[in-house]
Structure 1
């Protein structure tokens, strides 16, 4: 059992505030992913949980016990670092065995755990090699394996797949998800990769500038983003935001056309968020819709996206059929599925309900 409570957590480096009062509850056996742009504080928060850096203000509770002053070795937490942090004089086997031996496990138990972790991470051929004889991706897998053999109550992973190639990243991501199901531990995972966040997480924590913007399931964040930051951070291609003016039951852009919307927030100006699936195109400039011009087409094999520049300069992607080709500079009319549109305040970016 591992339940974490972060209450008013602040982190200050000299006179610079990095975290500004983080409040978060993480339940037993949850897989929680911290996402956000570089410098938002997600790795710093992970280090505070691990006990590697002191908390400036606030409380961190693990299973109801205050952990602020408990050393890392006594927290029952294992961490995988982005920078590997392997012992250079030890081979792969010894690196993976070190933590397990400190736990007092006997030799058969250590060997069994290493065998399981090395099979999972495809490390069997490298167990007698030193870290300097491994590639960056292999070193990261060893770091993951070293944490796996400890089977901790809380498992912290700081961008553990960033040094792996695309194919192996996908394989190890699936193995991490399986590991979470098998061992039932609480996992906290830091990444900037949306695919990792959306596929792994029970709960996603979106961070920005040292604050939490929104906490929710992948579906909640995708379908009901709390503000424009979350709306444009979650989803690929990102949601397009268009500042539009209300005229009765229509929303329009100056000299750029308008679209009919049945239910609208009661404000004169707002930002409309539209994902590519909610956009359809027709050739030529029609009377009903937003007028635009094709910039380029992105062909991805099973998907294709046409990027259209609207009259106000906004570039909006639209998902089209893979054989539906649009040449650059083709004039088009953009229609929006109003039921799939999102509305945000033009002033502060908060979500508005119709």
Structure 2
């Protein structure tokens, strides 16, 4: 069992505050992903949980026990680093055994745990190899195995896939998801890749500039983003945000047409959020909709994304059938699927409900 509670967590480096009062509850056996742009504080928060850096203000509780002054080795937490951090002079077996021996476990127990972790991660043929003789994905699995043999209450993973190529990244992502199902532990995973966050997490914590913007399931964040930051960060291609003016029940942009999207929020100036699935394109300009110009098309086999520049300069992506053809620089009319639009305040970016 591992329940974590972060209450008013702040972190300062000299006179610079990088975390500004983090409040977060993480339940037992949850897979929680911290996501956000580089420099937002997600790795710093992970290091505070691990005990590698001291907390400046606030309190951290693990299973109801205050952990602020508890040494990292006594927290029941294991961390997998971005750089693997394997001992180059040790083979795979010794790398996995090192931490378990420091815990004071006897030899039979160490061997049992290593055998169990090696089988789970399919490392048995590699036990006598040195790190330099392993691929990137194999090294990452060894780093995860080293954490596994400690049988921690909480696993922390700091951007573990960032050094891997695209194919390996997908493979190891599946390994991590399978591992969580099998061991049932609480996992906290840091990434700047929102695709990893959406595919792995039970709960996503979106961070920005040392603050939490929104906490929720992948579906919650995709379908009901709390503000324009979350709306633009979650989803690929990203949500387009168009500054529009509401008049007579229709939304318009300067010199770019207008459209009817149904019931509107009670604000005259707002931002319209459009996911690619919600955008419809028609060749030519005229009638209901925003006028735009095709920039380019991304063909992905089973579908395609057409990028269109609106009259106000906003770039909008539309998902189309792979056989639909839109010439670069061609004029098009942009409309929106009824009920699929998102609305945000043009002043502070918060979500508005019609």
1:168 alignment partner, SS class = helix
Match of 2:173 in 1: 173
Q: How does 1:1-354 map to 2 (within 5 A)?
A: 1-354=1-354
C-alpha separation between the residues in 2 aligned to 1:261 and 1:290? 12
Shift in Å at residue 122 of structure 1?
4.0
Distance 1:39 1:59 in 2: 22
What SS does structure 2 have at the residue aligned with 1:281? strand
* TM-score normalized with structure 1 length: 0.97
The structural deviation recorded for 1:172 is 1.9
1:136 Cα offset (Å):
3.8
8 Å CA contact 1:120–1:175 kept in 2: the answer is: no
For structure 1, which segment, 320-329 or 178-187, has the greater mean C-alpha deviation from structure 2 after superposition? 178-187
Could you tell which deviates more after superposition, 330-339 or 233-242? 330-339
How many angstroms does 1:143 deviate by?
Answer: 1.1
Q: Distance in 1 between matches of 2:332 and 2:121?
A: 49
Alignment partners' CA distance in 1, 2:236 and 2:186? 28
- Preserved contact between residue 261 and residue 341 of structure 2 (Cα < 8 Å): no
Q: CA deviation at 1:352?
A: 0.6
Q: Is 1:294–1:306's contact at 8 Å kept on the other side of the alignment?
A: yes
Contact map agreement 1:34 1:189 (CA 8 A) in 2: yes
8 Å CA contact retained: 1:151, 1:183: no
How far apart are 1:130 and its partner, in Å? 2.3
- Cα deviation for residue 179 of structure 1 reads 1.5
Q: Is the 8 A contact 1:294 1:331 kept in 2?
A: yes
Please list the CA deviations of residues 48-88 of structure 1 after superposition, one character each: whole Å capped at 9, or x if unmatched. 00000000000000111110000000000000000222223
CA contact (8 A) 1:35 1:197 kept: yes
Residues 237-296 of structure 1 show CA distances to partners (whole Å, capped at 9, x for unaligned) of 000000000011100111101111221111111000000000111111121101111111
Name the SS of the counterpart of 2:164 in structure 1.
coil
Kept in 1: contact 2:60–2:68 (CA 8 A): yes
Which digits, 9 at most, give the CA deviation of each residue in 1:311-354, with x for residues without a partner?
00111010000000111011111111240111000011011111
State which drifts further: 193-202 or 9-18. Answer: 193-202
Instruction: Give, in whole Å, the separation in 1 of the partners of 2:112 and 2:179.
Output: 15
* TM-score normalized with structure 2 length: 0.97
- Cα distance in 1 between the residues matched to 2:189 and 2:19: 18
Give structure 1 stretches of 5+ with no counterpart: none
Q: Distance in 2 between matches of 1:257 and 1:131?
A: 60
C-alpha displacement of 1:195: 1.9
Structure 1 moving runs of 4+ over 4 Å: none
Is the contact between residue 12 and residue 19 of structure 1 (CA under 8 Å) also seen in structure 2?
yes
Q: Distance in 1 between matches of 2:112 and 2:287?
A: 70
Contact 1:80 1:160 (8 Å CA) reproduced: yes
Question: Unpaired segments of 5 or more residues in structure 2?
Answer: none
Offset of residue 116 of structure 1: 3.6
Residues paired across the two proteins, number: 354
CA distance in 1, matches of 2:105, 2:182: 20
CA apart distance, 1:26? 0.4
